[in-house]
Structures are given as structure tokens and as C-alpha cells.
Amino acid sequence: MNSVLFSNPLHAPHLLVNPRLSPSRSGMHDHSFALPQHKSANNEADGTIDSVGTERMSGRKRKADDDLQDRDYDRMSTSPSASPATSSRPLPHPITPRSTKRTRTNVSAGRPLTVPRLLETLDAEDMRGLLRSICDRHPEIASDVIQAAPRPSVASTIAVLERYEATLRDAFPLGSRTSSDYSYNRVRQPLVQYIDALKDFTPHFLPPNEQQPTTSLNYLDAVTNMIHRLPNWDTYQHNRHKQEAYDEISKAWALVIREGAKRGGGFHLQYGGWDQKLMTHNEDSGGRLEEAVQGLKSSVAWPSDNMPSPAAGLGDRESIRHQLMSGTYGQDVAVSTGSW
């Protein structure tokens, strides 16, 4: 029995009795009373041990917490930028930018250019090509263009013809005679384009399309000088372009002279120096402008070596008109100075 009750060596028999809880010291060896004393003493001993361990553990935990707080304080004091933000710190107010009203543009999808913006990207050559193709596809638009476009001046037309002339001149091969057949074959295409341009522009400056004789004469004078500069080829057949150009310009001179003679008795022809210019052009062309010269002689009173004097062959009215316009009227009249 005793071996069963005191099998645990940690519980000595004399420790099972608590003298403070015992009612009498004489009953300490009473086994009937020892059992409850054993139970109470065992529980108290266990509670004492547990409380001591708990106090040790709590002390270690408080020491560990204190060490951890010290390390956190040191880290925060040495690195302020890495310290966590506290809830008591006031948050900065966001800076609201000034509201500026901007125009909204629809750029969410691509779109073609408008006609004014598209025309701004075209140069003069592209513009002419575009307008030419539109007029070819729509003849009714061509008439509108002719009516709306400003009339070309003599200077602008001569500038266009000079570009054709420059293209012809640049087409001549280097090191070859300009009148040779080889040179003609090289420049035949720009030569034909140049002659065609002359034929197309000339009717625009002729009556009745052009009502001012001076404008027509200025154009014919400039174009005739350009025809003089065309090369003379060794082969006779190659010169047909230049000969045809002389024939066309001679007829144009004759037409302008006839229409100019109807206005003011040919004043612009006689006293604008056109008679001398036409004579010079006829000589430079080798007599190719003889038709224009004869038209000038028949249209106005023009004295020459083979013609009688206008005062002798014309009537009194024509003679007086000729004298007035030439400034010789009254030179043959003698003025007598008599006495009163």
C-alpha cells in the first residue's frame, strides 16, 4: 500500500502534510486524514511552481519587449526617412492646379485633309496638273475655269515661252554643232513643244480677243525675237518648224495692223515706232514677214522710196491729216508782216 501511494520520488512523505492546514499536529500520522492533506499539499506545491515559472517567463518577455523597443527607437532616431508615418501627423493638402479651359479636338480617328489644306501642300506644277486632269474629265468645269481665271499678261506668257526655250537650249548635246542632224534628233521633242506653245499662245493676243493694239504689238514683237533665235538646221526639211512659225507670226502682224488702222487712222502704228520694228523683223527673217509689211503699207500712209509722197498722192483731207500727225502742218505757209 505504501509503495503505491508514494511511488513518485518527488513527493516525500513529510512534505504531504501542511502544518498550517492541519487541525492538529497529533493527527499527522493518521492515514485517513493524510489523503486529503496530500491532495491539498500537492495542489499548492504545483501552484507555487507554476506561478514562479510564469513570473520568470513574463520577466523574460518584458525584457525582450524592452530590448525590441530600444532597437526600434535607435533605428528611428538614426534614419528618420525610414520611420513609419504616425497617425497624428497631419496630411498635406493636395495642390489643386488652376483650371484652364482647353478646346477639345477630335483626334480620336484619322480623317482626310480639307480642300484648302490639301491645296496648300501642292506646288505650282502639281496644281496645274491636277486642274488639267479635272478639266479633262469634266469639260463643264473647263469653261468655268476660263471665265474665272485672270487673263494672262504679256509678261507672264513670255516667261512661260522662255522656259520652253531654256528647255530646248539645255537639250543640245555638248561638243556637237547645233545645226547638225544629230543635234536635231536630240532636241526634236522640246523643239516641237516650243513651237506648239507659240502657236497656242499667239491667238490669245490677237483681235477680237484682244482689243488693245498696243498689247498685241508688244506680244508679237517679243515672240518674233524668240523665233529669230531658233537654230537653222543643215537639212532643209528640219527647218520647216521655223518657217511655219514665221508664217504664223506674219499673219498675226498683218491682222493686228489691219485692226489697228481702223482706230485713230493708225496713229499707234505710225508714231509708236512699230513700222521700223516691223521692217527690222522682216530683214532678220529673210523677208518672211513681207505679208505684214505690205499690210502696213496699205493700211496707213507710210512714205517709202517706191511710194509717192502722201501729200502728193492723197486728197486734201488725208494730206492735212498726215501733216497734223507728222508735225509738218503750216511749215510751207508764209506769214507776211504788214504795217497798219
Q: Is there a cis peptide before residue 139, judged by omega within 30 degrees of 0?
A: no
Residue 32 has pLDDT above 50, yes or no: no
Tell me what the mean pLDDT of segment 229-248 comes to.
94
Greater confidence (230 vs 67) lies with 230
* pLDDT tens-digit readout, 39-51: 444 444 444 445 5
Output the furthest CA–CA distance in the chain (Å, rounded): 207
CA distance 28 to 37: 9
Mean pLDDT of the chain: 74
Per-residue model confidence (pLDDT) at position 91 = 61
Q: Which amino acid, one-letter code, is at 110?
A: G
Interatomic CA distance for residues 140 and 336, integer angstroms:
75
Task: Please give the share of the chain, as a percent, with pLDDT higher than 70.
Answer: 54
DSSP state, residue 195: H
Tell me the C-alpha distance between 188 and 199, whole Å: 17
pLDDT at 23 over 50: no
The angle at the Cα of 50, spanning 48 to 53, to the nearest 5 degrees, equals: 110
Res. 224 pLDDT band, cuts 50 70 90: very high
Per cent of the chain over pLDDT 90 is 41
Q: Residues 35-61: what's their mean pLDDT?
A: 51
Task: Check whether 236 has a pLDDT greater than 60.
Answer: yes
Mean pLDDT calculated for residue range 59-76: 59
AA identity, residue 176 = S
In terms of pTM, does the model score above 0.75? Answer: no
Specify the pLDDT at position 296.
84
pLDDT digits (tens, 9 = 90+) for 158-201: 999 999 999 999 999 998 888 999 999 999 999 999 999 999 99
> Which pLDDT does position 260 carry in this prediction?
82
Query: Does position 37 have pLDDT exceeding 50, yes or no?
Result: no
